[in-house]
Amino acid sequence: MISIVRKVYRCLSVIFGDKSLGELMRRKIAISVVFYLILTFSVINVAGEDTVEPFFNLVIRTTGGGVYPDYGLFIAQYLREIGIELEVKVQEWSFPMVVVDPNYNPQFDFYMASFSDLQSQDMRDYYTENGKLNIFNLNRSIPYQNESEAMQNEAITSDDLEERQQLYYDWQILFMDQILPLLPLFSSRQYLATWANTLGFDSRWDLADSLPYMEFDGLHEGQESLTAFNVADANWRDLNLLTTDDTSSSFMYSLIAEPIVGWSPDLAPLKTSLVSDWKQIDESHYAFTMRDNLYWNPSFNITGRNASSDPLDPTINLLLTGLKNGEVSNGINQQVTAKDAVFTYLAWGNPIVSENPSYNNWISNIYVDQADDLTFHIEIDGDPLTPELEYYAEFWVSLHKYILPEFFLNSSSTEVSYTSSGVECTGFYNGILDTAPWVYYSTSAFGCGKYMLDYYLRNSVTVLQASPYWMGIGAIDGTEQDLDIETLNVRVIPDISAELAEFKAGRLDLVNLAPFPQERKSMQADARFEVQSTLNYGFSFLAFNMKKENIGGSDNLVWVNGTESGNYTKACAVRKAICYAIDRVEMNQVLHDGEYLINHRPMRNFNFFYYEPAFPIIYDYDLDLAWKWMEYAGYKRPVKLVSLFLPSCLSLIILIIFRKRQMK
């Protein structure tokens, strides 16, 4: 205290001089008052929000690698400002995307995750108590959850587009305001670079869809062939998509197969794939007609093949035989018909052979037309728990499945099994996955698509050759096309920096630049390259564990008073405070150069039709509003007294003004 008084005295001495100060202090009581104020502010132990003890501690869990740990560190910093201490645990671990055991209470409060483009489009899978992707521990004992589930069921089974739009809009408001199990974060952008001599590539479509339109206009540096295209990916795991869900396997299968019903980047079904037309018979009944004169590629056994093997030829290479009477395909003897489409949808819904059978629960019945073997019928049921058939709004995107060869994978067994929704299947039986055709199909798969597997070297490369048996119809516009790219080399390069280096050296023809913003900006200004950008449909989010105390648990049932716009629980008030405390704009700017889309809704970007422009529940950064909700929940905001600097300066200014008046 003595040192502070001396410093103040020196300041006054500089202003007034020693003699003036003594006379002024005796004659002017006001100066004494000012001096007293300065001294008082000097000796106060200033209380600040950053020195207060946290109200409670929480844990956020995320996997290592990527940007999620950085998200966690930013969020920990923000929550400290509202009296919440957050521990970031980075582990090589992923929360299982399955139905959560009601008795299981994982030991974390938050979980960093994302909805990918490949996961279910039905919101009920994520946001209902029995949803198979419910990682939030939502249950119907949480206030408003019953209303939420009823609104989702009503929306998903409405065949009136405008009515469905309004239902989803109302549901999103309820869900993000009064339940709030997540804070949406960002949708990333995909930046794909090709060399400028690559013509016809469109990043909005899959590479498989673009390939019929692609060719090279001369050689780029490092390139050796005008008919070979080189890309990189991780090792694929299993080419039978019924039993795997990794993106590398899905990418590989997309090159050798064709979807039954195509799907455009604008999220509309296409008549440019195997199905060429359809008609609606009634509200819940559709008939689909497939192209004629399409055949399965040869059922080559590529096990043991390598770069020195003879070219693929069905007359000399070993062909795999299927379950049904040992049949083979030589490219011209096995026609693609409606039975293959029906078999594919039944297989996806059958728990004997499918990892995700419930994805096809909306199929009430499916069968080949009695009069036309190129037409199949689907009867739709949006709610299998009710006896009547109901419309299902998201059935179109569920039709986008790559077709499977029924003649090869189905058996002649008369054994009957059922899909998870109760549709009868014939030929599937326990143990079928261990039969030779199913085992071989995982590594030597064949389809009716653009390319055929030639050979693969694990951890090195997979080589595919253009199929002379492909139907020759481009998915993008339905025109006749051929394949100028005759050979496709998919190299295994697990390190993304090494992949970028290979692209810059000319040994790859396509690269993902999203992890390299500076390189991407450089290439955008370089005439040797073309960089295309698309917005990913999925988004990252911060998930609340609704079972954990303070942000959930028993606090989900404690109502708070004083809120101005409805009834909220204590846990929901804390969740709202957390959401307002997180500065997503700053995170986006620092971590993504401000280029990611900040999400505000619980629906992914492919559902943009259901987004109204004026959505009232947006958690923009607002620390005062965050504290307001913390106080609603019963956590008092600490009083932060004014620091010494400001009152001292103000006092000195007063003294200066006072002296000038004395001198007049």
- pLDDT at residue 22 is higher than 80: no
Angstrom distance (rounded) from CA 116 to CA 111 = 15
Does 413 share its domain with 515? no
Residue among 288, 474, 473 nearest 395 (CA): 288
Say how far apart CA 299 and CA 149 lie, in whole Å.
46
Q: In whole angstroms, what is the distance from residue 343 CA to residue 501 CA?
A: 44
> 């007293």: which residue's tokens?
36
The reported pLDDT for the residue numbered 47 is: 41
- Whether the predicted pLDDT of 125 surpasses 80: yes
- For position 427, which CATH number holds? 3.90.76.10
pLDDT at residue 613, as a whole number: 59
SS3 90: strand
User: What pLDDT score was predicted for residue 119?
Assistant: 60
pLDDT tens digits for range 481-494? 999 999 999 999 98
pLDDT band at 32 (very low <50, low <70, confident <90, very high): very low
pLDDT digits over 328-347, tens only?
999 999 999 999 999 999 99
Same domain? 519 vs 547: no
Contacting residues for 370 by C-beta, under 8 A, at least 6 apart: none
The mean pLDDT of 246-268, rounded to a whole number, is 92
Share of the chain above pLDDT 70, in %: 83
Mean pLDDT, the chain, whole residue set: 86
- Provide the pLDDT for residue 514: 87
Among 67-81, 249-263, 396-410, 608-622, which is the least confidently predicted range?
Answer: 608-622
| Contact between 599 and 538 (Cβ < 8 Å) | no
* CATH number of the domain where residue 552 is located: 3.10.105
Residue 67 has pLDDT above 90, yes or no: no
Band of the pLDDT at 393, cuts 50, 70, 90? confident
Determine the pLDDT at residue 566: 63
How far apart, in Å, are the Cα atoms of 109 and each of 54, 80, 460, 465, 639?
Answer: 16, 15, 41, 50, 28
List the single range of 110-114, 198-202, 329-333, 346-350 with lowest mean pLDDT: 110-114
Mean pLDDT of 191-204: 97
- The mean per-residue pLDDT over the stretch 423-443 comes to 95
Q: Are residues 11 and 142 in the same domain?
A: no
Number of domains present in the structure of the chain: 4
Determine the pLDDT at residue 610. 57
Residue at which a domain ends, from 418, 448, 478: 448
Residue type present at position 82: I
Chain centroid, CA 620 distance in Å: 21
pLDDT of residue 283: 84
| Residue 98, pLDDT above cutoff 50 | no
Residues 286 and 229 reside in one and the same domain = no
* Same-domain status, 366 and 291: yes
Clarify whether residues 658 and 592 are in a common domain.
no
Q: Are residues 322 and 441 in the same domain?
A: yes
Residues 598 and 645 in one domain: no
99 φψ region: left (φ > 0), alpha (ψ -120 to 50), beta (else):
beta
Residues 165 and 203 in one domain: no
| H-state helical runs in 274-354 | 338-349
pLDDT of residue 360: 87
CATH number at residue 227: 3.40.190.10
Q: Is the pLDDT of residue 39 over 50?
A: no
Decide if 192 contacts 545 (C-beta within 8 A): no
Q: What is the pLDDT of residues 406-420, one digit of tens each?
A: 999 999 999 999 999
Q: Are 637 and 47 in contact (CB under 8 A)?
A: no
* pLDDT given at position 244: 84
**Of the given ranges (227-231, 394-398, 471-475), which has the lowest mean pLDDT?**
394-398
**Residue 521 sits in the same domain as residue 387:** no
Residues in a beta bridge with 457? 461
Q: Does residue 179 register a pLDDT over 90? A: yes
Q: What is the mean pLDDT of residues 518-536?
A: 94
In order, the DSSP letters of 490-550 are EEE---HHHHHHHHHTTS-SEEE-TT-HHHHHHHHT-TTEEEEEEE-S-EEEEEE-TTSTT
Buried b (16+ CB within 10 A) or exposed e, 278-309: beeeeebebbbbbbeebbbbbbbbbeebeeee
Last residue of a domain, one of 510, 534, 558: 534
Q: Are residues 436 and 508 in the same domain?
A: no
Q: Domain check: are 25 and 153 in the same one?
A: no
The residue-averaged pLDDT of 605-632 equals: 82
Residue 152 structural domain: 50-187+537-632
Does 217 score more than 90 pLDDT? yes
pLDDT at 601 over 70: yes
